[in-house]
Amino acid sequence: MKQRAEPEGGVLYLVGTPIGHLGDLSPRARALLIAVDTIACEDTRHSGQLLSALGSTARRCSFHQHNTHGRIPQLLEELSNGHSVAVISDAGLPGISDPGEDLVAAARNAGHAVICIPGPCAATTALVSSGLPSGRFCFEGFLPAKGRERRDRLAAVVTEQRTTVLYEAPHRLMKLLDELHELCGGERALQVTRELTKRHEQQVGPTVTAALEHFQKHPPQGEFTLVLGGAPEQEQISLNDEQCRQQLAMRIEQGMKPADAAKDLARSAGRSRRELYALLHEQQNQAD
Ligand code: SAM
């Protein structure tokens, strides 16, 4: 089949780049990065190595979470002037936990064509190699770092019946594994993938306990994507009493009043506020 000539003026190209192995850059991505007018890079120094190795002399500009709003109008203007623009991230598919999403929305709103040149993505690479069900899955990316937002998101993740894919930074991995252990127990299926497509690629599982024990012995280093098995149907119903007590204690330690802690947890734990309040009273009476 005859392909259309690329790049075309006025088109925004989202270009997938390797997540480790440089051989994963597609011939189409390579040709486009050489011929396009402008490349918006998450980090110009990081991507500079790849682009120089390709012999790309396209104009490069930085495009990251701290300059998104200023940069989008400039890139839209380039598109309006008939230039072709590519956006790439440090690794993988731009727009997946990476800058790109807002630019695509703005380009579409302004009536510009957007074409994705697909490439590696850590989430799908981890999912398909995990051995966990992939027919239906959800992607959570990075969880919020702390506070109520994190608790609510974790509560949703551990009660989700579909396989869930998460990104995590190495210095936070143990905290996440501890939380998963506390909330869904040690036997829940989990594959922690490390350094996908790189020389030291590794899969650690098959359960939360196995992963926790492994990384207690081998402190986490490198890049991680987690694939968590879905909750069995009965776990969907609610957290048990002990898990609720722990969750309530955590909220009270963080400064919530007991009534607010019960109200807050009721929202995500599938338990009524009255039941949770009774648990708190029980605990209080035992302590007196
Ligand atoms: N847009 C990218 C993609 O398509 O996968 C992801 C960018 S996100 C900012 C970076 C996170 O992806 C890392 O913190 C890690 O969780 C995951 N990741 C990226 N490369 C990886 C690799 N080679 N192995 C495992 N996880 C990886």
Residue-range domain boundaries for the chain: 11-120, 123-228, 241-287
Q: How confident is the model at residue 263 (pLDDT cuts 50, 70, 90)?
A: confident
Task: Say what the pLDDT of residue 1 is.
Answer: 67
HEC secondary structure over the chain? CCCCCCCCCCEEEEECECCCCHHHCCHHHHHHHHHCCEEEECCHHHHHHHHHHHCCCCEEEECCCCCHHHHHHHHHHHHHCCCCEEEECCCECCCCCCCCHHHHHHHHHCCCEEEEECCCCHHHHHHHHHCCCCCCEEEEECCCCCHHHHHHHHHHHHHCCCEEEEEECHHHHHHHHHHHHHHHCCCCEEEEEECCCCCCCEEECCEHHHHHHHHHHCCCCCCEEEEECCCCHHHHCCCCHHHHHHHHHHHHHCCCCHHHHHHHHHHHHCCCHHHHHHHHHHHHHHHC
123-228: CATH superfamily:
Tetrapyrrole methylase, C-terminal domain (3.30.950.10)
Task: Say what the pLDDT of residue 283 is.
Answer: 73
Measured in Å, residue 252 CA sits from the centre of ligand 1 at 35
What is the distance between the alpha carbons of residues 166 and 187, in angstroms, rounded to a whole number? 18
11-120: CATH superfamily:
Tetrapyrrole methylase, N-terminal domain (3.40.1010.10)
Task: Please report, as a single letter, which amino acid is at residue 156.
Answer: A
Measured in Å, residue 140 CA sits from the centre of ligand 1 at 13
β-strand 113-117 against 85-88: which pairing, if any? Answer: unpaired
Q: How confident is the model at residue 264 (pLDDT cuts 50, 70, 90)?
A: confident
Q: How confident is the model at residue 234 (pLDDT cuts 50, 70, 90)?
A: low
Task: Say what the pLDDT of residue 9 is.
Answer: 96
Task: Say what the pLDDT of residue 167 is.
Answer: 97
Q: Is the CB of 93 under 6 A from ligand 1?
A: yes
Measured in Å, residue 242 CA sits from the centre of ligand 1 at 35
Contact 235, 207 (CB under 8 A): no
Contact 39, 51 (CB under 8 A): yes
- For 224, list phi and psi in degrees, rounded to 5: -125, 140
Nearest-atom number in ligand 1 for the CA of 94 is 1
Nearest-atom number in ligand 1 for the CA of 92 is 4
- For 90, list phi and psi in degrees, rounded to 5: -60, -35
Contact 15, 86 (CB under 8 A): yes
Contact 92, 98 (CB under 8 A): yes
The string of pLDDT tens digits covering residues 52-104 is 999 999 999 999 989 998 999 999 999 999 999 999 999 999 999 988 999 99
Nearest CA to ligand 1 atom 16: 167
Mean pLDDT of the chain: 91
73 CB neighbour count, 10 Å cutoff: 11
Q: Is the CB of 87 under 6 A from ligand 1?
A: no
239 CB neighbour count, 10 Å cutoff: 22
> What's the distance, CA 174 to chain centroid?
17
Contact 7, 36 (CB under 8 A): yes
Task: Say what the pLDDT of residue 237 is.
Answer: 52
The string of pLDDT tens digits covering residues 122-138 is 999 999 999 999 999 99
Contact 206, 148 (CB under 8 A): no
Q: Which of 42, 142, 165, 167 to mutate to test the pocket of ligand 1 (most atoms within 8 A of CB)?
A: 167
Which residue did the predictor score with more confidence, 71 or 235?
A: 71
Reply yes or no on whether the pLDDT at 181 is more than 50: yes
The string of pLDDT tens digits covering residues 44-57 is 898 998 999 999 99
Contacts of 167 (CB under 8 A, 6+ apart): 97, 122, 123, 141, 142, 224, 225, 226
Average pLDDT value for residue range 201-215:
96
Measured in Å, residue 162 CA sits from the centre of ligand 1 at 21
Please compute, for residue 138, the number of CA atoms within 13 A of its CA located in the half-sphere on the CB side.
Answer: 12
Nearest-atom number in ligand 1 for the CA of 198 is 23
Nearest CA to ligand 1 atom 8: 97
Measured in Å, residue 207 CA sits from the centre of ligand 1 at 21
